[in-house]
Amino acid sequence: MALDRDDVRKIAFLARIKVPDAELAPLADELNGIIGWVEQLSEVDTDGVEPMTSVTEMTLKSRDDAVSDAGYPDRVVRNAPDRAGDFYAVPKVVE
């Protein structure tokens, strides 16, 4: 299936990336080129094959549900583009 301008606009919104209208069509061409190329995977018989979840046969370890590192809010928020005290500031969400 080939993507059109509207598909690309929808994907861009899902990805929260602003794409100027003039770039939608060329971007659709680029994405279609890549998707058309990866579709060669349909040649591979994968019936009954488990999808990979990890390259190594390891069981992830559990750890205690406890605070291990905390107590320095100033360092945590220091890189914020906008802050109010020890909080991140964002545009108004609730009227």
Partner 1 sequence: MAKLNDLTLAEARDGLAAGDFSAVELAEDCIAAMEAARDLNLFITETPEIARERAAQSDARRAAGGAHGAMDGIPIAVKDLFCTEGVLTTAASHILDGFHPPYESTVSQNLIDAGAVMLGKTNLDEFAMGSANMTSYYGPVKNPWVGAAGEDLVPGGSSGGSVAAVAANVCPGSTGTDTGGSIRQPASLCGVVGLKPTYGRCSRWGIVAFASSLDQAGPFARTVRDSAIMLKAMAGHDPKDSTSAPVEVPDFEAAITGDVKGLRVGIPKEYTLDGMPAEIQALWDRGAEWLKQQGAEIVPVSLPHTKYALPAYYIVAPAEASSNLARYDGVRYGLRVDGDSLDEMYENTRGAGFGAEVRRRVMIGTYVLSAGYYDAYYVKAQQVRTKILNEFKQTFADVDVLLTPTAPNAAFPIGAKMDDPVAMYLNDIFTVPANMAGLPGISVPAGLDADGLPLGLQIVAKPFDEETMFRAADALERAAEFTAKPKYLGGQGG
Q: Distance between the two ends of the chain, CA-based, in angstroms?
A: 41
Instruction: Please report, as residue ranges, which positions from 12 to 41 form the binding site for partner 1 (by CB under 8 A).
Output: 12-19, 27, 30-31, 33-35, 37-41
Q: How far is the CB of 95 from partner 1 (least distance, A)?
A: 11
At what angle are helices 21-38 and 5-14 packed, to 10 degrees? 90
Cα dihedral across residues 67, 73, 77, 82: positive or negative: positive
Chain residues binding partner 1 by CB under 8 A are 3, 8, 11-19, 27, 30-31, 33-35, 37-44, 46, 49-56, 58, 60-61, 63, 75-82, 88, 90-91, 93
